[in-house]
Structure 1
């Protein structure tokens, strides 16, 4: 499906945000509303900046920083835990104007991974730094760091316990905790031969096009609950979880291994570039055809100010705003 519509305009800014694809239908309404309030706050932040003439790359970094600071979703504070009970975060950012990018993985102390990814892009000769090399670069750049415990929440400690009891990699770490929970109750499904529960929000992202038609994208995540230490997903992989070029910007969320195989974000851009598809049709095709049996979603903007989203699972936390006053925050189809 392609939600959020496609607002064809000759000029004007637009922004979209997401808090993960695949939402437990039984998620309590209070948690749904809390997530929607956070998305609205991020849209307000980004919209005001774009209206004031800010660049798309500055806006996506600022919005994802806001998402990383709030524990509602799985990025920064509130990140999913590894099997060892620690946090390993990853993020990427891309400026479509010159196709410049920066990415980081395996972060354990950097408060805002997306900003370190921006520094990799702006202040290093590289595009991607990981684990101790990324942490060392962070120290050299003087970014804010905190103890790993800062990122760990009580809810995620409880979900890690459930994951270990079920011998599962939990995707849906936001399902309310229960005193006892069997594999059947968790709704475990296979992913790459591994047990995996029903899908829920897990990654955050933002895409924007500014008044000059420049596109940018940023994505940040803590990964999968109970993942193996050292696992790297799609979010920091340019072309898979994040991509931006002269035509569009894309941020993906969902089953990372499926997104990696599909090079999903780049595929949307390629469909526009080589097949001449408009944004919404490119998003629809990529979601329907490229994911095989994987579950995922994405948000996208075009240089014309169009906005589109797509997902093939139960829902996606998402929202968008445009310069002509359109605004929406949604979860379900």
Structure 2
């Protein structure tokens, strides 16, 4: 094969009752992000630059749960997190607990490029952001009216919600007979809660980036898979991977790294590797991922009802979808 390839996601686990207009809005945003990435790749931008560019776009639009429009904690605040990884030398940067940074993915990139560390969190990450002069916003910028309403409903139900975009009147759409659980505790509804992008450029360099606002009504200080290198994000010489879904299950399965591992150690191709990991490494967890290989392949995989996703390759293939 060969050539560049790109994939983008806006979360896995879409509620089947999601209104058609919301589905179309999501597809339009994914298409816009793909077009942005394709233009950059055709201009010979590097994989690492493209994943940052695309995820910044996703963070700036409130449709998905990252940056503006982030899920709210139990205290009604945002705690955003993100990570980015450059495959060729396995360089990485990650951030957690951000409350003022407009584009968490760019701060993660600065951690990688401008600090001696790989991961900064909470007050230390905020201090680093101020030192680096990144664009900051007050809490009101990130909080949407829709999310405030969803947080109130989650509080009333005394539950964590992974999907806070299902309309209020659909809140009971989760099966009563088989309640979803996280670490043995019930959660009300499950669906998208992360954005990400993976790219292989024309020189075969892979990169991955993931960003999220976390879970609606989550405990203060909870950290998910998105900023954890090897769990939510991974890139190396053979592939780049970004995950989405039930963070605790993704963490237990070190899902992103596992794709690379079975390619490296079992000799599987990208499609086989993604299939294997989704089927064998999630236990009973629900998740999805996007992946590219260094020879220009692109694959999406998930064990949920749907995943907001899009992908494109240099030979002209382009696809945007939600359902299986």
TM-score, length-normalised on structure 1?
A: 0.95
1:56 aligns with 2:47: yes
Match of 1:142 among 116, 123, 133: 133
Q: Which residue of 2 aligns with 1:36?
A: 27
State the distance in 1 between where 2:191 and 2:176 align: 15
* Alpha-carbon distance, 1:187 to partner: 8.1
Contact preservation (8 Å) 2:17, 2:170: no
Q: Which residue of structure 1 lines up, in the alignment, with residue 95 of structure 2?
A: 104
Q: 1:179 to 1:269 in 2, by over 3 A?
A: closer
Match of 1:88 among 76, 79, 91: 79
- 1:121–1:179 Cα change, 3 Å: closer
Task: Give 1:182 shift.
Answer: 9.6
- Of 196-205 and 52-61, deviating more is 196-205
Secondary structure class of the residue paired with 2:113? helix
Q: Distance in 2 between matches of 1:54 and 1:180?
A: 43
Contact 1:13 1:213 in 2 (8 A): yes
- Residue 180 of structure 2 is aligned to residue 189 of structure 1: yes
Q: Secondary structure at the match of 1:172?
A: coil
Distance 1:267 1:130 in 2: 25
- Give the C-alpha shift of residue 201 in structure 1: 1.2
Q: How far apart in 2 are the matches of 1:77 and 1:226?
A: 17
Relative distance call for 1:327 and 1:184 in structure 2 (3 A) is: closer
User: Per the alignment, in what secondary structure is the counterpart of residue 11 of structure 2?
Assistant: strand
Q: Deviations along 1:88-126, whole A, 9 cap, x unmatched? A: 000000000100000000000000000000000000000
Q: After superposition, where does 1:1-333 map in structure 2 within 5 Å?
A: 9=1, 11-178=2-169, 188-333=179-324
SS at match of 2:190: coil
Shift, 1:213, TM fit: 0.3
Alpha-carbon distance change, 39 to 121 in structure 1, aligned in 2, over 3 angstroms: same
Secondary structure of the structure 2 residue equivalent to 1:145: coil
Equivalent residues of 2:73, 2:219 under 8 A apart: yes
Q: Which runs of 5+ in 2 are unaligned?
A: none
Q: Deviations over 1:149-201 (max 9, x none)?
A: 11000111111011011111001101101398698779852211222123211
Write out the 4+ residue segments of structure 1 that deviate beyond 4 Å after TM superposition: 179-188
How far apart are residue 223 of structure 1 and its match? 0.3
- Distance change (3 Å), C-alpha of 1:163 and 1:187: farther
User: How many Å separate the matches in 1 of 2:174 and 2:306?
Assistant: 22
Aligned partners of 2:219, 2:302: CA distance in 1, in Å? Answer: 26
- Contact map agreement 1:17 1:299 (CA 8 A) in 2: yes
The answer (yes or no) to whether the contact 2:171–2:189 under 8 Å persists in 1 is no
Q: Which runs of 5+ in 1 are unaligned?
A: 1-8
Structure-2 change in CA distance of 1:119 and 1:180 (3 Å): closer
Is contact 1:169-1:194 (8 Å) kept? no
1:214-240 alpha-carbon deviations (Å, 9 max, x no partner)? 000000000000000100000000000
| TM-score (normalizing by structure 2) | 0.98
Rounded to whole Å, the distance in 1 between the matches of 2:177 and 2:136 is 35
Number of aligned positions between the proteins? 324
CA distance in 2, matches of 1:186, 1:15: 39
